[in-house]
Amino acid sequence: MTHTLYRAGTPESQGEEICWLAYSTKGLNDDNFPETARHLLRAVEESGDVANWGDTKIGTILTMPAAEIKARLQKNSRLRGVFSNPRAAVKFLRILKKKELNQSILLSGVITELVRICKEAGVTPCYANMSLGVFGNTSRLTDPKTLSITTMCGHQRIPAKYVRALEHDVDQGRMTAEEAANKMGGICMCGVFNPDRAAGILAGNNQGC
């Protein structure tokens, strides 16, 4: 889950989203994982405020219908997604707790928000990874606003120049912030790019930096 630990932006901006991840464990629960995953994805959809999700081996809901992804799930599928509201993450955990799917879930976000979410949902985290920040010649990084968008794709598939080009198109009225955000998100195969947050940053409603 470390590729989601380096999302740039203010704590307020990042606190509005919660990433999640679900993998099977080879030889333990992978044989029935496609069915388990479909139950899990129903919980995701029932929780509301679903910004994005997908299978890294198939695609995301920004690039294809959700039904197609569900139909093509495999025992080694890697599911990842993001909620645009912490309340949805609480509901998600509560639903999974009732379902008893025997499936580990990883959450990623602002640590204080994650602690609150788990406590409210009645679950106890078994461990936590934390980012210590970015070291080195940080002057070579792109501007903070662009960085708050590009780092939503943890594998850095979204180029900074592409973000700035689409931002220019939004400023010129050639496309909406939502259209630009979906174009960016379509490049990220992880399913953790948050088009809702990206659109807010592009439109100036969400001060991501």
The CATH number covering residue 94 comes to 3.30.70.260
Task: Tell me what pLDDT residue 1 has.
Answer: 58
Q: pLDDT digit string (tens) for 197-207?
A: 999 999 987 76
- Confidence check: pLDDT of 209 > 70: no
Residues 83 and 158 in one domain: no
Residue with tokens 């973000």: 163
Query: Is residue 65 helix, strand or coil?
Result: coil
Domain match, 40 and 107 both: yes
- Alpha-carbon gap, residue 65 to 194, rounded angstroms: 17
The pLDDT of 9-32, averaged and rounded, is 90
Mean pLDDT of 124-129: 92
Q: For the residues 3-15, what does the mean pLDDT come to?
A: 92
| Beta strands 18-23; 59-60: pairing state | unpaired
| Main-chain dihedrals φ then ψ at residue 52, nearest 5 degrees | -170, 155
Residue 186 in domain: yes
Does pLDDT of 185 surpass 70?
yes
Mean pLDDT of the chain: 94
Q: Are 180 and 170 contacting, i.e. CB atoms less than 8 angstroms apart?
A: yes
Specify if 112 maps to a domain: yes
Which tokens sit at 175? 């496309």
Q: Model-level pTM?
A: 0.93
DSSP conformation class of 85: S
Closest by CA to 142, choosing from 194, 189, 208, is 208
Domain, as residue range, for 175: 136-203
